């Protein structure tokens, strides 16, 4: 639709011969700017006073995020007839690179961008929004991992399904999951001779969650996890690589064979499966309200898109809209102490499903339980992967001293950082570590690192006392050689010391990572009201719900949660269709 509007705008401009003010002379102009993963180049053709073609290239941008900006911003520029466009929410770095490159290309050709802005044509904004009514068996709010698992399952059960996604792209926070999926008693474990049990999975999850978790939900997740792994095999998303991860007694985390991040991998596989089944998520379509019949029962959702307002009538509604880690107002309502904390969350994680569910009487559980990630760069909210510490980096405070075993759990390291002067710290590593970890190139390319040839020079750059900092580093290198950390008892991630120049530091502090609380559900994903009763026709799964993770989510359980409960929600919602 947008593409048609963009072309329509261009045709109108050309037909009426309107030479827009500020446009450069006819020609094709090109420039490049630094994106998230590498250079982004933009080429624009100007003919008869209008931008008639835009081509954007950025092969290194993240598929599903920056990649969406590369694919879709040509339409925005064509529609607006200026490079100053909004870009794609959640892909700020790539969007900014596109705007910058396009602006530079046109300015160099003599354009007056301010005059072009003044002429802005936003065809979509001019369009009247149509009122539309749709009918389906099941409507799903949110196309992250939980929503897409549910949608495929509803289709497998032979029922019709509509899936809504308010962003321009699917995937939500799921895309950001890097580790894998916890599952016990799987065929992959058996094939590798790994002994594990559902009981042990339950025990580890309860312990990790400080026993605040709902034990019935934890058991449902663990008991259905092996079947979920089998199901992923059948839909072309196998997770065969099994290893240990924090908080698990046995090797239980299942990851893609090629070592790629589990979230991006699953989102790509789910999207491909949905396309194969003929189910296209309705993008840029935000659910705003649950519809209720005259007797008060839930019977669909109201949703808004740029060109239409929908009433979608359905027998069952599944909320799979994720958490609220990107909604500062909402998390401060439950945790005022977190005001001003940056977030690692996708921009769609604004708690809409929680608010919609509450409006029909749903109860909430553990809503104040919010997980902080300890290593988040604060100006970009970019998460510095745990792999950096796992490969041997240390954390130092502004005094240039270590203050914690860097391999402690996220909540412990975050709390320790908040005790330091200024509530921040630095992740410190060397060239050897950079050479071995691909993720670091992204941090360097985005200007997050400072570097120097000696520890003393690095200390000066970050404002630490050079002698103290250099002693911290040489003490640490001694501990690595002795395989003993007498200061904080670190025992892992110390295979290699930090002695190959240049040395690097990234300033970090805790950031909001996962909202463990949410809508109350039972083991069949029915939403439960404040009197403890099932709300008919309403289901919820994934990060929108509470109770599975208790007071702390352990790595690998977010993906287990979304696939297991996404499938249960899909089955239940389909069965509910008479």
Pairing of strands 286-292, 253-255: unpaired
Q: Is 217 in the site for ligand ADP (CB under 6 A)?
A: no
Catalytic one among 252, 389, 410, 553?
410
Indicate whether 50 belongs to the interface with ligand ADP (CB under 6 A). Answer: no
Whether 252 sits among the annotated catalytic residues: the reply is: no
Q: Could you tell me which of 354, 351, 431 has the C-alpha nearest to residue 391?
A: 431
Of these, 13, 217, 290, 346, which contacts ligand ADP (CB under 6 A)? 346
325 binds ligand ADP (CB under 6 A): no
> Among residues 366 and 543, whose Cβ is nearest to ligand ADP?
543
What phi and psi, each to the nearest 5 degrees, are found at residue 271? -65, -45
Determine the Cα–Cα distance for residues 506 and 428; give it in Å rounded to an integer.
7
Cα distance between residue 300 and residue 236, in whole Å: 31
Q: Is 65 in the site for ligand ADP (CB under 6 A)?
A: no
138 vs 167, beta carbon nearer ligand ADP: 167
User: Are 147 and 163 contacting, i.e. CB atoms less than 8 angstroms apart?
Assistant: yes
State how beta strands 425-430 and 394-396 pair: antiparallel
Q: H or E segment at 46?
A: strand 39-47
What is the C-alpha to C-alpha distance for residues 392 and 71, in angstroms, rounded to an integer? Answer: 38
Q: Is 209 in the site for ligand ADP (CB under 6 A)?
A: no
Contact 168, 71 (CB under 8 A): no
**Nearest-angstrom CA–CA distance, 175 and 262:** 8
- Applying CB under 6 A, does 402 fall inside the site for ligand ADP? no
Check binding of 563 to ligand ADP (CB under 6 A).
no
For position 420 contacting ligand ADP by CB under 6 A, the verdict is no
Return d(Cα 136, Cα 312) in angstroms, integer.
7
Binding to ligand ADP in span 168-197, by CB under 6 A: 171-174
Segment near ligand ADP (CB under 6 A), from 167-175, 329-337, 454-462, 567-575?
A: 167-175
539, 525 contact by CB (below 8 A):
yes
Residues whose CB is less than 8 angstroms from the CB of residue 159 and which lie 6 or more positions away in sequence, other chains included: 137, 138, 573, 574, 577
Report if residue 513 touches ligand ADP, rule: CB under 6 A.
no
**Strand 130-141 vs strand 161-164: parallel, antiparallel, or unpaired?**
parallel
Q: Measured from the CB of residue 544, what is the shortest distance to ligand ADP in angstroms?
A: 6
Minimum distance from CB of 289 to ligand ADP (Å)? 9
Quick note: the x/- pattern for ligand ADP over 117-156, rule CB under 6 A, is ------------------------xxxxxxx---------
Mask 466-505, x = binds ligand ADP (CB under 6 A)? ----------------------------------------
Query: Pattern of binders to ligand ADP over 66-105, x per CB under 6 A?
Result: ----------------------------------------
Residue nearest to ligand ADP (CB): 144
Return the sign of the alpha-carbon dihedral for residues 368, 374, 379, 384.
negative
Among 75, 137, 204, 352, indicate the residue that binds ligand ADP (CB under 6 A).
Answer: 352
Q: Given the complex with ligand ADP, which of 344 and 405 has the nearer CB atom?
A: 344
DSSP 58: -
| Residue from 24, 64, 208, 322 in contact with ligand ADP (CB under 6 A) | 322
Stretch 528-547 residues interacting with ligand ADP (CB under 6 A)? 542-544
286 binds ligand ADP (CB under 6 A): yes
Residue 319 engages ligand ADP in binding (rule: CB under 6 A): no
Neighbours of 31 (CB within 10 A): 20
Helices 557-575, 262-276: inter-axial angle, 10-degree rounding: 20
Q: Confirm if 372 and 383 have CB atoms less than 8 A apart.
A: no
Binding ligand ADP (rule: CB under 6 A), the pick from 91, 232, 349, 569 is 349
CB of 524 to ligand ADP, least distance (A): 17
Written as six digits, the tokens of 203 are 């025990």
The secondary structure of residue 181, as a DSSP letter, is E
Which helix (H) or strand (E) segment holds residue 512: the answer is strand 503-515
CB of 565 to ligand ADP, least distance (A): 9
Catalytic residues: 410
Residues lying near ligand ADP in the complex (CB under 6 A) are found at 141-147, 164-167, 171-174, 286-287, 320-322, 346, 348-349, 352, 542-544, 562
């Amino acid at each position: 639709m947008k593409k048609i509007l963009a072309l329509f705008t261009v045709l109108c401009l050309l037909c009426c011969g309107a030479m827009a003010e500020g446009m450069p002379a006819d020609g094709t102009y090109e420039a490049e700017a630094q994106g998230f993963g590498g250079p982004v180049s933009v080429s624009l053709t100007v003919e008869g006073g209008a931008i008639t073609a835009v081509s954007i290239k950025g092969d290194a941008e993240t598929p599903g995020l920056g990649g969406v900006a590369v694919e879709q911003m040509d339409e925005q520029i064509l529609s607006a007839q200026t490079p100053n466009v909004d870009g794609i929410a959640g892909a700020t770095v790539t969007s900014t690179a596109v705007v910058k490159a396009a602006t530079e290309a046109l300015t160099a050709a003599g354009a007056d961008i301010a005059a072009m802005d003044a002429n802005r044509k936003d065809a979509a904004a001019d369009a009247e929004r149509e009122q539309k009514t749709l009918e389906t068996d099941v409507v799903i709010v949110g196309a992250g991992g939980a929503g897409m698992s549910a949608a495929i399952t509803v289709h497998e059960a032979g029922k019709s399904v509509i899936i809504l996604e308010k962003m321009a792209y699917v995937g939500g926070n799921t895309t950001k999951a890097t580790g894998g999926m916890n599952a016990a008693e799987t065929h992959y474990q058996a094939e590798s001779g790994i002994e594990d049990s559902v009981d042990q999975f339950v025990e580890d999850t309860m312990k990790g969650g400080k026993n605040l978790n709902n034990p019935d939900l934890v058991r449902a997740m663990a008991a259905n996890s092996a079947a979920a792994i089998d199901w992923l095999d059948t839909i072309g998303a196998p997770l065969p690589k099994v290893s240990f991860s924090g908080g698990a007694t046995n090797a239980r985390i299942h990851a893609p064979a090629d070592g790629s991040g589990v979230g991006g991998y699953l989102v790509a596989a789910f999207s491909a499966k949905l396309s194969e089944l003929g189910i296209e998520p309705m993008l840029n379509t935000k659910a705003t309200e649950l519809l209720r019949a005259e007797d008060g029962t839930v019977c669909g959702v109201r949703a808004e898109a740029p060109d239409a307002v929908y009433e979608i009538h359905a027998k069952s509604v599944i909320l799979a809209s994720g958490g609220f880690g990107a909604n500062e107002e909402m998390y401060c309502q439950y945790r005022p102490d977190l005001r001003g904390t940056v977030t690692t969350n996708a921009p769609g994680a604004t708690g809409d499903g929680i608010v919609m569910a509450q409006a029909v009487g749903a109860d909430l559980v553990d809503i104040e339980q919010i997980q902080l990630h300890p290593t988040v760069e604060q100006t970009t909210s970019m998460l510095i992967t745990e792999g950096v510490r796992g490969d041997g980096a240390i954390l130092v405070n502004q005094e240039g001293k270590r203050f914690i075993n860097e391999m402690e759990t996220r909540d412990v390291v975050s709390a320790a950082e908040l005790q330091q002067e200024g509530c921040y710290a630095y992740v410190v590593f060397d060239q050897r570590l950079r050479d071995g970890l691909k993720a670091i190139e992204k941090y360097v390319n985005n200007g997050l690192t400072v570097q120097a040839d000696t520890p003393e020079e690095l200390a000066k750059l970050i404002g630490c006392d050079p002698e103290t900092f250099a002693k911290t580093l040489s003490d640490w290198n001694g501990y690595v050689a002795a395989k003993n950390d007498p200061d904080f008892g670190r025992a892992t991630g110390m295979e290699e010391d930090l002695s190959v120049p240049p040395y690097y530091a990234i300033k970090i502090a805790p950031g909001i990572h996962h909202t463990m609380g949410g809508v109350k559900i039972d083991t069949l994903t029915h939403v439960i009201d404040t009197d403890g009763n099932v709300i008919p026709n309403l289901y919820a799964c994934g990060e929108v719900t509470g109770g599975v993770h208790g007071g702390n989510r352990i790595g690998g359980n977010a993906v287990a949660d979304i696939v297991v409960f996404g499938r249960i929600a899909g089955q239940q919602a389909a069965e509910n269709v008479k």
